[in-house]
């Protein structure tokens, strides 16, 4: 899904946009073996996808695909990731088939283009289906394993 709306204040600050300035908010679900494992919100400032003005679709899946297509045309310089342990908010819990307050991993990714934040992703992963692997390169891998359960 995709909508044009003002983001939370912390996201507006990270995007370096005005707190009342609408951004594209793309909601995506990640599923493995038919089981939901992550709910993602991708916040994209309008300045990151300026060619979208010609698109008629106001919201929904078609607009989400168009926004993502335009974002992929940008040359990204890099990304920064942060991983935190958190509690599932009501909307994420419902999407992930968990109870509100269930443990989750929250992965925040900041995509950088032209020295600025081009997009910010906040992905909430079910903690009972994921494992983090840290390597010498400083990278982090998230393994989605539906067979792994919390004890």
Domains by residue range for the chain, with CATH: 2-144 (3.40.1410.10)
Q: The pTM is what?
A: 0.82
Is the pLDDT at 143 greater than 70? The verdict is: no
Band the pLDDT of 149: cuts 50, 70, 90. Answer: very low
Mean pLDDT, rounded, for 18-24 = 89
Mean of the per-residue pLDDT values of the chain: 85
Task: Give tens-digit pLDDT for 64-99.
Answer: 888 888 888 888 899 999 989 999 999 999 999 999
Contacts (Cβ under 8 Å, ≥6 apart) of 50: none
């Amino acid at each position: 899904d995709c909508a044009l709306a003002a983001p939370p204040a912390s996201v507006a600050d990270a995007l370096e946009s005005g707190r009342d300035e609408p951004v594209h908010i793309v909601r995506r679900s990640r599923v493995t073996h038919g089981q939901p494992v992550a709910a993602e919100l991708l916040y994209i400032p309008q300045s990151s996808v300026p060619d979208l003005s010609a698109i008629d679709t106001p919201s929904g899946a078609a607009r989400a695909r168009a926004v993502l297509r335009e974002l992929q045309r940008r040359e990204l310089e890099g990304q920064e990731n942060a991983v935190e342990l958190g509690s599932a908010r009501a909307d994420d819990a419902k999407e992930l088939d968990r109870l509100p307050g269930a443990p989750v991993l929250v992965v925040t990714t900041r995509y950088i283009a032209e020295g600025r934040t081009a997009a910010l992703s906040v992905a909430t992963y079910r903690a009972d289906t994921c494992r983090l692997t840290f390597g010498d390169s400083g990278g982090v891998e998230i393994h989605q394993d539906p067979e792994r359960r919390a004890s």
